[in-house]
């Protein structure tokens, strides 16, 4: 089982897939409460967390509707629709966290690290051209962090979709070179991948490691943050 070591003086950089926040027709209140508990426990240890929220299923539903309703919808339009859904998810999480979250939801690119006292800084998608994974990479670079946590609804990165092939191989560790061969180099709005191709290129070139873990198991996520063994995949 892999481990990941986080620098004590730096915030933990984390993305939360929209599929965890809104897995079906409505947001998952139980999951949101677990995120709050995690942030609170880490805050008690003096640890700060930057959380970037994804759009997930709600994003893809809106994008599909736009495609069906108009033949003039562009990829840029679809990306902007996705970005707005990440803002909605981010605002929801920020309100759930209450005083544990910085007062502002960060919705535009920043060039200087934000300073806040404790808990979490919540960030949405920013600009077209990639998913919220790209944002989390840029934040890692801004804070000179070499580790990212990506919470999704899968236990590992697999050689192929395990829902279609139960014999698909799971990985504890995977090089960026091998992972990028699997996902390619092109971004398209609504693309579903453990970590998007544009973000993967940034992390590969910036020597940033990414842990892909299932956000449904918050005890496992906490093991990861605490530098203990965890179930998941490290891309490095």
> What confidence tens digit (pLDDT) does each residue in 194-232 have?
888 999 999 999 999 999 999 999 999 999 999 999 999
Residue 230 lies in a domain: yes
Residue 107 lies in a domain: yes
Cα distances from 235 to residues 43, 132, 204, in angstroms, run 27, 17, 9
Q: How many domains does the chain have?
A: 1
pTM for the model stands at 0.94
Residue 101 lies in a domain: yes
The vertex-165 CA angle with 164 and 169, nearest 5°, equals 130
Residue 2 lies in a domain: no
**Confidence label for 167 from pLDDT (cuts 50, 70 and 90):** confident
Residue 3 lies in a domain: no
CATH number for 98: 3.40.1160.10
Residue 103 lies in a domain: yes
Which residue from 89, 103, 98, 8 is spatially nearest to 47, judged by alpha carbons?
8
* Euclidean distance between CA atoms 214 and 106, whole angstroms: 25
Residue 104 lies in a domain: yes
- Contacts for 112-120 with beta carbons within 8 Å, 24 or more apart? 112/142, 113/142, 113/143, 116/48, 118/43, 118/46, 118/48, 119/39, 119/40, 119/43, 119/48, 119/49, 120/39, 120/48, 120/49, 120/50, 120/51
Domain span holding position 193: 12-235
Per-residue pLDDT reduced to its tens digit, 82-128: 999 999 999 999 999 999 999 999 999 999 999 898 899 999 999 99
pLDDT at 16 over 80: yes
Average pLDDT, the chain: 93
- Strand 120-123 and strand 147-152: the pairing is unpaired
Residue 141 lies in a domain: yes
The residues, ordered by sequence, that sit 6+ positions from 23 with a Cβ below 8 Å of its Cβ are 31, 56, 57, 153
Rg of the chain over Cα atoms, rounded to whole angstroms, equals: 17
The residues, ordered by sequence, that sit 6+ positions from 90 with a Cβ below 8 Å of its Cβ are 53, 105, 107, 122, 123, 124
* Euclidean distance between CA atoms 224 and 175, whole angstroms: 19
């Amino acid at each position: 089982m892999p481990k990941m070591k986080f620098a004590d003086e730096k915030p933990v950089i984390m993305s939360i897939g929209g599929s965890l926040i809104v897995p079906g027709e409505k947001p998952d209140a139980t999951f949101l409460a677990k995120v709050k508990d995690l942030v609170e426990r880490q805050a008690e240890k003096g640890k700060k967390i930057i959380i970037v929220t994804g759009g997930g299923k709600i994003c893809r539903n809106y994008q599909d509707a736009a495609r069906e309703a108009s033949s003039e919808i562009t990829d840029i339009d679809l990306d902007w629709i996705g970005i707005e859904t990440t803002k909605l998810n981010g605002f929801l999480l920020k309100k759930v966290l209450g005083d544990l979250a910085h007062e502002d939801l960060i919705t535009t690119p920043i060039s200087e690290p934000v300073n806040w006292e404790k808990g979490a800084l919540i960030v949405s998608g920013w600009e077209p051209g990639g998913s919220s994974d790209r944002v989390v990479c840029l934040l890692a670079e801004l804070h000179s962090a070499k580790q990212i946590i990506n919470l999704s609804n899968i236990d590992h990165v697999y050689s192929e979709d395990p829902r279609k092939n139960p014999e698909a191989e799971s990985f504890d560790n995977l090089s960026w070179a091998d992972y990028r061969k699997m996902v390619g180099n092109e971004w398209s709005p609504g693309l579903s991948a453990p970590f998007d191709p544009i973000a993967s290129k940034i992390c590969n070139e910036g020597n940033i490691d990414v842990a892909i873990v299932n956000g449904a198991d918050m005890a496992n996520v906490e093991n990861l943050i605490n530098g203990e063994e965890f179930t998941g995949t490290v891309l490095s």
